Amino acid sequence: MNPMALSILMISLAIGTATTLASHHWLLAWVGLEINTIAIIPLMTKNFHPRAVEAATKYFLTQATASALILLACSYNAWKLGEWSMSEMTSPSSLILSIALMTKLGLAPMHFWMPDVLQGIPLSTGLILSTWQKIAPMALLIQMSHNINLNLAIAVGVTSILIGGWGGIGQTQMRKIMAFSSIAHLGWIIMVIKFNPSLALFSFIVYILLTTAMFSSLITLSMTNLSQMSTSWSKSPMLTSSMILILLSLAGLPPLTGFGPKLLISLELVKQGATPLMILISLASLLSLFFYLRLAYVMALSMAPNTSTFMIKWRTPAKFYLATIFNVLVLLTFPITPIVMILM
């Protein structure tokens, strides 16, 4: 892609997200979401291929539907209350808005677009779709957390955790596995967004860090499926070792970074008197644990028949440093979790 066009698209993504984050007016927030949607579609089709075109079409239709619902709910709310402010909302408007924003995030049962879209686009665009594109809808959900229907949040959260686990078990494509991983992690966040928005924000930040570290490692090693992961050790032993720890962190195993949000969410649910719900989602997360352990097993305890004899490439690619920075950041975040929670 032309560097100038790429720069314009990346700046548009930044402007769209910043507009949504800075707005207290539903119409401006909607405009920011639309700028985000339009800016990422050319990035999806930069490697022109029928799969990429199909992914971009599915993404556009889903996001356009969700945006239409947001505009409908905001207009109805403004008609009823006489203002476009985010602080006050009527019950039907908040319900429709919650469903539309959850659709934009790819939460179950509105998740059907997410795995197919992520599978059809390059890893670099998949990184943007799984992290940056989720910031604006999640920020809006956190802002209106006091208006979210509790039963809706719990139902969507439990469904997302179950489908995120079940869907990832039989997959061999890394992009689809990361899509179902995203669905499961966002399910945990939605579970607690009504009870404790600050904890939901912290969990979302950890999710962004973990997903960015995983995608940057996949980009560095050019891995898109399970068979390629078995040869990663001969390409870069240190990066492969850190990827195994990131996978275990995504699974939520102690004492890694991903364990912190799940522990705090579980404690918050117990404090709110929802112990059976906490037990249910903890058991459901074992499904996700299975495929994370499967990936770690393939990388650490199996070896491909034709392994490369070259341990180190003659030139370290520039993208290697991005993976290194995020991997180190993710692996060292857990000890400072209490400090971050106090600041939030």
Which one is predicted more confidently, 231 or 132?
A: 132
**pLDDT of res. 283:** 94
Closest to 212 measured CA to CA, from 75, 64, 333: 333
Query: Average pLDDT for residues 211-216, to the nearest whole number?
Result: 93
pTM of the model: 0.92
Of all residues in the chain, what percent carry a pLDDT higher than 90? 68
Structure tokens belonging to residue 239? 């990066």
What's the rounded Cα separation, in Å, for the pair 2 and 25? 35
In this structure, of 100-109, 285-294, 318-327, the range with the lowest mean pLDDT score is 318-327
What's the rounded Cα separation, in Å, for the pair 293 and 299? 10
pLDDT in tens, 121-137: 999 999 999 999 999 99
pLDDT in tens, 243-275: 999 999 999 988 889 999 999 999 999 999 999
Question: Quick count: other Cβ atoms within 10 Å of Cβ 189?
Answer: 27
How would residue 336 be classed by pLDDT, with cut points 50, 70 and 90? Answer: confident
CB 331 within 8 A of CB 325: no
Of all residues in the chain, what percent carry a pLDDT higher than 70? 93
Closest to 249 measured CA to CA, from 199, 212, 200: 212
**H helices present in 301-336, as ranges:** 319-331
**pLDDT of res. 86:** 83
